[in-house]
Structure 1
């Protein structure tokens, strides 16, 4: 498979960045934007100041608000909308998708209610197979990649040829994609890291330091791996880019929306205040902590850190209280 014509549905920071990567790799890219002013700016000025201020976009990248026009002739379609809006948006686009186009998911989360991973949501809506969807994961902070800082990603798909096609379409001098066939592990790593990043942000807001951060990252990775094992993921995936790689980046960087949101809560801001400060950008972990918690309970997996984030975000528990409860849990062997 050789992919030349790509459509990116969604014009947020990560969608725009991935579109830039594809264009820099020599692909012809059309973006769909919900707002006319965003599409006009990308098409006419080759910038997206609402989401990537100061970043010039390639000339071969264009944009429109017309989904039919954007999708016409696409060989690959990149879904770049928030996880909890994927089903609604994809349902509206379903009949416009070109036959045979490779579907690529940038969303990281677990759907509320259904507890489905994003590839499963795509399959539900399109009537395809979850294994046909290429999932993008890894330490992918959009603003750094948009500025051409070196980074890697993992492209997971049960159909290795599809993953290779997107790998070839997105390889640049600054962006190195690897392939993987463990869709379950890559999606769980990408979803769970947002919840763990919330906890790291809260710890920072409470004034805690590096030891605390390292503890949260490693214990968060342990509970993510437990969930993955219960759902059939490859344990090695969590030692890779979609696991520890994404976790470290999202938990440690001020560019991470989830970490920043958590830090505001840790400093004493309300959920409403923290949301307002995000400027319209979504902290996926706030919703994902509920759906991941329910998924874990359904398969009998203990995820205490995720439980704590749920209680803070949805039951109003103070972060300091949640932290004290975590430390006060029954002592046990590290891997039990």
Structure 2
């Protein structure tokens, strides 16, 4: 098979094509999909997944995973609500929440890199721990009276367009992630670690330090997402973002990031994020139940794991034929 054709049928390219096809079909056949309010709603609801997907992509490329991201976001939102109730200024609260994310990521990273524990087991444990701490911090209260300018930024739109205001900073973070993974020695080191940790270590890559940085970055972005979630939905609760980790992992893997590490692109991950977000939006417009949407997300997660492997096996079979 010619090299150009091989690139054209890469899994992330297929996901991008599916996203375009879904959007075209939805604009033409689903009532209400194309209006500005719904498109803004779609992007706003997808942003929490997209924010965490950026560092999660780097982490999975390096053959690790963090399942505590939603609980970190929930803990960040709970601390934000508690501190706001205590009378602290929002300008002081947000940096403290980000620092909390650094600590959560540092705990995960140290347990994985220093004690040699598997990240899947570690972050399942911290998933429960961080959510429990969030409940202790805020209890069953819901804090809703945040300052209007922050609520308007998190939930408002740019002028009369459908673009959420918060989407513009996300584009900056997206550009940074693309450059970091695909145009720097650091990004190349992540692919090397994912392809073979021992070989990467012999090549002089500081594997443990790199992975620790990735866990800290993921925790920080999760905390930022928790702040955004509380402001976007105007409610800080201990159970904010519950289940978000499933959507993040499903979207990242759907975008062609190899669960075994060493392969993937930021573009594919973001295409997976918005394919998942658009699918959920369309199902909501078609009055599909929330339980059925969860089933669809689970199926997409299975497909995202099987699809790239089947595609690689077919490519190998063609080359050997």
User: Normalized against structure 2, the TM-score is what?
Assistant: 0.27
User: Normalized against structure 1, the TM-score is what?
Assistant: 0.26
Structure number with the higher strand fraction is 1
Which structure ranks higher in relative contact order (CA pairs < 8 Å, sequence separation ≥ 6)?
2
Structure number with the higher helix fraction is 2
